Amino acid sequence: MVFDLLIVGGGVNGCAIARDAAGRGLGVLLLEQKDLAAATSSASTKLVHGGLRYLENYEFRLVHEALAERELLLAAAPHIIHPLQFILPHERSIRPAWLVRIGLFLYDHLAGRKRIPGSTTVSLAGTPYGAPLTADHRLGFSYYDCRVDDSRLVVLEALDASERGAKIRVGAKLIGARREGAQWVASVAGADGGLEDIRARALINASGPFVSETLEHRLGLGSRKHVRLVKGSHIVTRKLYEGAHAYMLQRPDKRIVFAIPFEEDFTLVGTTDVPFLGEPGPVAIDAQETDYLIAAIDHVFRKKIDRGDIVWSYSGLRPLYDDGALEASVVTRDYAFDLDAEGGKAPALSIFGGKITTARRLAEHALETLAPFFPDMRAAWTGGAILPGGDLGPGGFDAFLGELSRAKPFLEPRLARRLAGAYGTRAWRFLERAKSMADLGADFGCGLTEAELDYLRAQEWARNAEDVLWRRSKLGLRFDAAQTRALARALTSHAAR
């Protein structure tokens, strides 16, 4: 069999391209060496945002595209994407109020808004917004972006791709590929270590931080474009304040740090921008980054935190397109393509940069670039399409949650919220026949039942406890060691069957 597209990388970009291409009638195979969203796409700040800060770097194209994507994504996946209010405490010594107001005016008007509210000036003194902050923070600004479950977005794209005919293979690594006539012949190592050859008419290198490694070492190609790896880390603490809003904190180095309500009981704080010169791979927060994030909180919040308050941290490598900027924090967050196809050769398209927010649009651009090689390919279609589980109905998330809670009254309110928020209408697939918790099978902890686990295994490519606890859910924040071991045992014994 010869595939039309071989996509290397199961992050947000690879999965968005697989989804779009499969829907246009192309034969797609996606390879992911570990798990979907195993690398950068599960390590983001989890925002679908225009990027207010990028306006200072004159990134108008990117901000315009990203702002427009917010509305589309919110409509496509209202179970995993929700509007989020940000409070930006005014810091006179860092940015004058007039500059912030101009930025917010542009942010409100650069792209049309339908569901997402605009910005306003707010008083912090004597209001719930100011209550957790030190007394010198009296004035602030309010604006909206969206929060997203980043790794679940990737899984939903893969699921949609697969339901439209794409083959998604996790634990499958591209070892190398060569051109033979008008095709690529790729050598792929499967989860069992065995090698097989796969043929495709075009190859997409969506390997994120590994983009240059894939280009040079696995495809044997050069490129004038380069990736710039910039590490970013987050810490998670127990909830630092009451309220559903997030804070955007300005730092003296002109960067910003977000404090965001996370998983009901926690606050997510990040991120950092640290140049990374090593080989791409797993990364972890270092002491300086930890201190930087703690200082950002301590400067603004009444409640001071220290390392003992951190319950989890995670880090990722931004695979930025190297535009030659001096500072890591101002390297463009926009994306760029490198197409290698001269002389009628089988094309290879490499992706540099991009954001969770812009992956759908990036996929459209990638397929526009490859259109000359696939004259029968159908037109773009993802702009108005719903992602799996996102068909919540006109009442949106709250109405759907109400419906689910009424239909399944045995679900604890917190569990109903988690299931509705993770799976949307797909939750019916494993809840449909249940009349009690017992019908859902053994509970591994926090309401993660056998029925849900079977669904994750069968439909969402989950293979081990880490996939389940940290990427399909964030139950890792709540599971203890014994629960994790029991879950791992259940997954291993199922795999051995």
| Residues near ligand FAD (CB under 6 A) | 8-14, 31-34, 38-41, 43-47, 49, 173-174, 206-210, 214, 218, 232, 271, 316, 318-319, 354-357
- Do 36 and 153 meet the contact criterion of CB atoms below 8 Å apart? no
* Least spacing, CB of residue 254 vs ligand FAD, in Å: 17
Q: Which amino acid is at 394?
A: P
Of 207 and 237, the one with the shorter C-beta distance to ligand FAD is 207
Looking at beta carbons, which residue is closest to ligand FAD? 11
Number of Cβ within 10 Å of residue 106's Cβ equals 16
* Least spacing, CB of residue 31 vs ligand FAD, in Å: 4
- Do 330 and 51 meet the contact criterion of CB atoms below 8 Å apart? no
* Least spacing, CB of residue 347 vs ligand FAD, in Å: 18
* Least spacing, CB of residue 357 vs ligand FAD, in Å: 4
Q: Which two tokens stand for residue 452?
A: 């849900």
- Smallest CA-to-CA distance from 214 within 370, 468, 6 is with 6
Name the packing angle between helices 12-23 and 359-370 (round to 10°).
50
- Do 36 and 52 meet the contact criterion of CB atoms below 8 Å apart? no
* Least spacing, CB of residue 301 vs ligand FAD, in Å: 21
Of 282 and 372, the one with the shorter C-beta distance to ligand FAD is 282
Of 13 and 484, the one with the shorter C-beta distance to ligand FAD is 13
* Least spacing, CB of residue 29 vs ligand FAD, in Å: 11
* Least spacing, CB of residue 73 vs ligand FAD, in Å: 10
* Least spacing, CB of residue 64 vs ligand FAD, in Å: 15
The shares of helix, strand and coil residues in the chain, as percent rounded to the nearest 5, are 40, 25, 35
Residues with Cβ < 8 Å from 461, sequence gap 6 or more? 35, 36, 155, 158, 168, 170, 467
Of 41 and 425, the one with the shorter C-beta distance to ligand FAD is 41
Of 15 and 415, the one with the shorter C-beta distance to ligand FAD is 15
Of 356 and 491, the one with the shorter C-beta distance to ligand FAD is 356
Q: Which amino acid is at 373?
A: F
Residues with Cβ < 8 Å from 294, sequence gap 6 or more? 235, 305, 306, 307
Q: Which amino acid is at 25?
A: G
**Burial (CB count <10 Å: 0-12, 13-18, 19+), residue 458:** exposed
Cα distance between residue 220 and residue 216, in whole Å = 5
DSSP 8-class letter at 278:
S
Cα distance between residue 196 and residue 194, in whole Å = 7
- Do 15 and 39 meet the contact criterion of CB atoms below 8 Å apart? no
Of 7 and 124, the one with the shorter C-beta distance to ligand FAD is 7
Cα distance between residue 130 and residue 300, in whole Å = 10
* Least spacing, CB of residue 233 vs ligand FAD, in Å: 7
Of 198 and 416, the one with the shorter C-beta distance to ligand FAD is 198
- Smallest CA-to-CA distance from 350 within 228, 219, 231 is with 219
Of 47 and 116, the one with the shorter C-beta distance to ligand FAD is 47
